[in-house]
């Protein structure tokens, strides 16, 4: 039982390049989330998915797109990376009454 996995762990991009961050969970959770973490700003929600086939914008969706490929996988795409997207990106999933969120190890992205 791996929990939530993310790939890649690290990535360096040039401004204007595109990339997809991958996330998968093996806990059969319906809800999945993408956050970015920046110093002094906590975690901010980019997009979330309440169930397979549905996605919704969070607090900071501009410059990103997502795909909920199936119940397990939720990917985040940067179509044209900008230096302001330099951050640490976390994927999470949740289920149950308490709503505990389970996080992946993160992807550290540097956009030059």
Judged by CB under 8 A, the residue of 41, 82, 110, 112 near another protein is: 41
Q: Which is nearer to another protein, 1 or 40 (CB)?
A: 40
Q: Decide: is 5 part of the binding site for another protein (CB under 8 A).
A: no
Q: Binding to another protein by residue 40, rule CB under 8 A? A: yes
Catalogue the E-assigned strands of 1-112: 4-7, 10-13, 19-25, 31-37, 43-49, 56-57, 64-68, 74-78, 87-94, 101-103, 107-111
Q: Using the rule CB under 8 A, give the single segment among 14-22, 66-74, 75-83, 91-99 that binds another protein.
A: 91-99
Q: Token match 């993408």: residue? A: 34
Residue found under tokens 């110093």: 39
61 near another protein, judged by CB under 8 A: no
Stretch that binds another protein, among 14-22, 36-44, 64-72, 76-84 (CB under 8 A): 36-44
Number of C-alpha atoms within 13 angstroms, CB side, residue 73?
A: 8
Structural contact between residues 111 and 86, judged by C-beta atoms closer than 8 angstroms = yes
Q: Which residues bind another protein (CB under 8 A)?
A: 4, 31, 33, 35, 40-43, 45, 48, 50, 56, 58, 90, 92, 94-95, 98-106
């Amino acid at each position: 039982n791996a929990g939530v996995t993310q790939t890649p762990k690290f990535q360096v991009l040039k401004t204007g390049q595109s990339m997809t961050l991958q996330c998968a969970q093996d806990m059969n959770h319906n809800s999945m989330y993408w956050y970015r973490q920046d110093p002094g700003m906590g975690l901010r929600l980019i997009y979330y998915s309440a169930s397979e086939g549905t996605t919704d914008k969070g607090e900071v969706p501009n410059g990103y797109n997502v795909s909920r490929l199936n119940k397990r996988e939720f990917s985040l795409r940067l179509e044209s990376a900008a230096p302001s997207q330099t951050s640490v990106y976390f994927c999470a999933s949740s289920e149950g009454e308490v709503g505990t969120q389970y996080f992946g190890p993160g992807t550290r992205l540097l956009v030059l």
